[in-house]
Amino acid sequence: MSTELSPADFAKCIAARRAVDFIEDGMRLGLGTGSTAAFMVRRLGERVREEGLKVTGVPTSSRTAALAREEGIPVVTLEEAGWLDLTIDGADEVDGDFQLIKGGGGAHLQEKIVASASDRMIVIADGAKDVARLGVFPLPVEVICFGWQTTQKLLSEALEGRGHAGAAITRRMAGETPFISDEGNFILDLHLGQIHDARALSLVLNQIPGVVENGLFIDLCDIVVLGHEDGLVRIRDRASRTTREERADPDRPINAFADI
């Protein structure tokens, strides 16, 4: 196995590691899902083992739960934790208004519930996920399996009314079989190209029978931490509307064996 991260993974890793610096002793945490969130969980595990950091994690998927347990992070359900202090999660796209598309890993239902049950949400991503307008990344919509083709037709009609006539809708696959979410549902990916009003679209989609939840995250993200391949880290704060830039700490080397 190579001990070096690819440039894209390096950017994800430094964003994830910087976000873990926001975590304080005693926090109840939402732990996101995806490749960037995995770097975060591994770094959090390091702090738990090396610093004796006391935290409780609520995973947003079975994959994250398994990784957190491997890293020695205490894991509980959202019901057991109650309200959370902080959720740290990745994103497939984030715009200048702190709106997100999530769900590339098929976990956006649990991710949205956990983020909604948190005082703050920090989004971690590589710089390529920072976009002027959402929509190039296909928008995931989780739907129940019963009558999913009817739901797909209703989605097409709703999209036509929102200026997306002819937009392709594909059922997500896992090889030769349909992808099934942790809740036993299908994922339909909406290929929109550009979303003009994410807030309005989210409301419309969730009114359609058979739709469980869509991947638009509105008014949930508080801080965005973006890593770049040259080692630059940008931290955007929604409350203060400020952006600050830092450099990844050259004296804190990345454990490539742990972070790949």
Q: How many CB atoms lie within 10 A of CB 233?
A: 22
For residue 125, the SS3 value is strand
Residue list for the binding site: 33-36, 89-92, 102-105, 129
One DSSP character per residue, 82-108 reads: -SEEEEEEE-SEE-TTS-EE--TTS-H
Separation CA 46–CA 175 (nearest Å): 34
* Residue 9 burial by Cβ neighbours in a 10 Å radius (0-12, 13-18, 19+): buried
Known catalytic residue: 111? yes
Separation CA 162–CA 86 (nearest Å): 34
For strand 118-126 and strand 223-227, is the pairing parallel, antiparallel, or unpaired? parallel
Give rounded-to-5 percent helix, strand, coil for the chain.
Answer: 30, 30, 40
Residue list for the binding site for substrate: 33-36, 89-92, 102-105, 129
Separation CA 213–CA 138 (nearest Å): 15
- Tracing tokens 């959402």 back to the chain, one arrives at 134
Which of the residues 46, 93, 111, 142 is marked catalytic?
111
Cβ contact 44:23 at 8 Å = yes
Between the two ends of the chain, the Cα-to-Cα distance in Å is: 9
Catalytic residues: 111
